[in-house]
């Protein structure tokens, strides 16, 4: 048995770990995020499997109640894909862009579940809860849209429909991003089984069991004609009618840079028990700390890095004082 002061060295080390159990611990995903479909985004650490949270919990620490994740903003992804969405600088299959380009999105029944424009504008904050709860979700596009993305790209296409630098703040990001490899990327997606293509909506729906898709598209097309979305309030410049075959459905899963949520602590980063009393010698820093990080992700640059670095500094000083008491 170790005493409190011996234990401190072990715990401060172990508790800095395992911030991203996305993709690496499906049981924790199911327990805290209610999905088994979250994948680790490029650069995520597959060694992070939630050990720190589990160890602190076993030692009597209480967990905070809200768990979340920091989603990859470069598109949907899929565990079946050989080139999933990562970052634009990496090779990735372009079809995953239709997981969050503002086009029609549906859930596993073929029903809409989100303001698609909000997901495109704020993929890391507003969208994260909705896409994880509805995973896998499906991006639905027709051939007109695919052609437009191959020739114009999202910036030209959307500004032609009324978006401006003033009212579409994320627009500049899409400037010059022409999806010129869609035909060859489609072959890969079809072969890997996460993309479906069909000449009718009924046939497309069958591919993934999206039973309400034809009805959803009929309603959605009415909104496109009216230039107004009374169901979710998606901006008219994101409404793109589904009318020209072939039609496509992209099966998307979310991916994460890191996960959030974990052990409850006080301001000295000491783990707390269920009575909010500190457990002597047990400190929790980084994204395993459920009092610093929880859902949703905030669109604040350095949100993760900042708290990870500062919490380590604070905990180290507190541990030093405790050892020398
Ligand atoms: C590609 C990418 C881009 C990112 N961009 C940003 C950004 O721009 N801004 C921002 O704020 N955040 C960003 N993040 C998130 C940020 O990097 C993380 O939130 C942060 O690094 C988490 O720090 P941490 O100390 O909690 O855990 P980690 O950095 O995950 O460190 C955990 C360490 O513990 C080790 N470990 C695992 N298991 C054990 C074990 N059993 N025993 C001992 N050691 C173990 C792991 O190998 C790892 O070294 C990004 C993340 C990624 C992956």
305 lines ligand 1 (CB under 6 A): yes
Query: If you write DSSP's letter for every residue of 4-24 in order, what string do you get?
Result: HHHHHHHHHHHTT-----TTT
Task: Give yes or no for a contact between 212 and 140, defined as CB atoms under 8 angstroms apart.
Answer: no
16 lines ligand 1 (CB under 6 A): yes
pLDDT band at 298 (very low <50, low <70, confident <90, very high): confident
Per-residue pLDDT at 268 exceeds 70: yes
Per-residue pLDDT at 7 exceeds 80: no
Q: What angle do CA 185, 187, 189 make, to 5 degrees?
A: 70
pLDDT for position 101: 97
Buried residues in 9-48 as b, exposed as e (16+ CB within 10 A): eebbebbbbbbbbbbbbeebbeebbebebbbbbbebbeeb
pLDDT for position 2: 41
CA–centroid distance, residue 223 to ligand 1 (Å) = 43
Domain spans in the chain, listed from the N-terminal domain onward: 4-70+257-323, 94-255
CA–centroid distance, residue 33 to ligand 1 (Å) = 19
Task: Give yes or no for a contact between 271 and 264, defined as CB atoms under 8 angstroms apart.
Answer: yes
CA–centroid distance, residue 135 to ligand 1 (Å) = 24
Report the candidate in 132, 140, 73 with the shortest Cα–Cα distance to residue 111: 140
pLDDT for position 81: 96
Task: Give yes or no for a contact between 158 and 237, defined as CB atoms under 8 angstroms apart.
Answer: yes
CA–centroid distance, residue 287 to ligand 1 (Å) = 8
Q: Which residues pair with 70 in a beta bridge?
A: 258
Per-residue pLDDT at 98 exceeds 80: yes
Please, what is the average pLDDT of the chain? 90
Per-residue pLDDT at 1 exceeds 70: no
How far is Cα 311 from Cα 305, in angstroms, rounded to an integer? 10
More confident site: 258 or 167:
167
How far is Cα 113 from Cα 171, in angstroms, rounded to an integer? 23
DSSP conformational letter for 112: -
Per-residue pLDDT at 172 exceeds 90: yes
Q: pTM to 2 decimals? A: 0.88
47 lines ligand 1 (CB under 6 A): yes
pLDDT (mean) for 296-323: 89
How far is Cα 3 from Cα 6, in angstroms, rounded to an integer? 5
DSSP conformational letter for 61: P
Q: Which residues pair with 139 in a beta bridge?
A: 105, 250
Could you tell me which CATH number the domain at 94-255 has? 3.90.700.10
The two beta strands, 247-252 and 195-198, are antiparallel
How far is Cα 49 from Cα 281, in angstroms, rounded to an integer? 23
48 lines ligand 1 (CB under 6 A): yes
Q: Which residues pair with 106 in a beta bridge?
A: 138
More confident site: 199 or 302:
199
87 lines ligand 1 (CB under 6 A): no
pLDDT (mean) for 49-53: 88
Report the candidate in 239, 248, 249, 251 with the shortest Cα–Cα distance to residue 115: 239
154 three-state secondary structure: helix
Per-residue pLDDT at 10 exceeds 90: no
302 lines ligand 1 (CB under 6 A): yes
How far is Cα 264 from Cα 271, in angstroms, rounded to an integer? 6
CA–centroid distance, residue 84 to ligand 1 (Å) = 20
Fold of 4-70+257-323: FAD/NAD(P)-binding domain (3.50.50)
pLDDT band at 20 (very low <50, low <70, confident <90, very high): low
Whose Cα sits closest to atom 34 in ligand 1? 17
DSSP conformational letter for 46: T
Q: Which residues pair with 138 in a beta bridge?
A: 106, 251
């Amino acid at each position: 048995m170790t005493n409190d002061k011996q234990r401190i060295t072990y715990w401060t080390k172990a508790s800095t770990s395992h911030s991203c159990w996305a993709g690496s611990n499906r049981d924790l995903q199911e327990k805290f995020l209610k999905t088994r479909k979250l994948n680790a985004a490029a650069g995520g650490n597959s060694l992070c499997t939630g050990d720190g949270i589990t160890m602190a919990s076993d030692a009597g620490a209480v967990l905070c109640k809200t768990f979340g994740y920091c989603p990859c903003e470069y598109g949907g992804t899929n565990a079946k894909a050989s080139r999933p969405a990562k970052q634009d600088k990496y090779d990735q299959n372009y079809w995953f862009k239709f997981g969050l380009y503002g086009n029609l999105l549906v859930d596993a029944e073929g029903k809409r579940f989100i303001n698609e424009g909000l997901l495109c504008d704020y993929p890391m904050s507003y969208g994260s809860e909705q896409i994880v709860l509805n995973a896998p979700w499906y991006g639905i596009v027709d051939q007109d849209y695919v052609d437009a993305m191959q020739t114009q790209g999202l910036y030209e296409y959307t500004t032609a429909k009324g978006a401006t630098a003033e009212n579409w703040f994320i627009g500049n990001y899409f400037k010059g991003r022409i999806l010129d490899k869609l035909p060859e990327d489609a072959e890969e997606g079809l072969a890997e089984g996460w993309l479906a293509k069909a000449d009718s909506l009924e046939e497309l729906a069958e591919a993934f069991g999206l039973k309400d898709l034809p009805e959803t598209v009929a309603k959605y097309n009415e909104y496109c004609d009216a230039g107004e979305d009374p169901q979710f309030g998606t901006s008219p410049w994101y409404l793109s009618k589904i009318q020209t075959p072939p039609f496509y459905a992209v099966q998307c899963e979310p991916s994460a840079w890191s996960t959030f949520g974990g052990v409850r602590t006080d301001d000295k980063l000491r783990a707390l028990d269920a009575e909010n009393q500190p457990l002597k010698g047990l400190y929790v820093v980084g994204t395993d700390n459920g009092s610093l990080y929880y859902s949703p992700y905030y669109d604040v640059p350095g949100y993760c890095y900042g708290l990870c670095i500062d919490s380590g500094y604070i905990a180290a000083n507190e541990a030093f004082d405790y050892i020398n008491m």
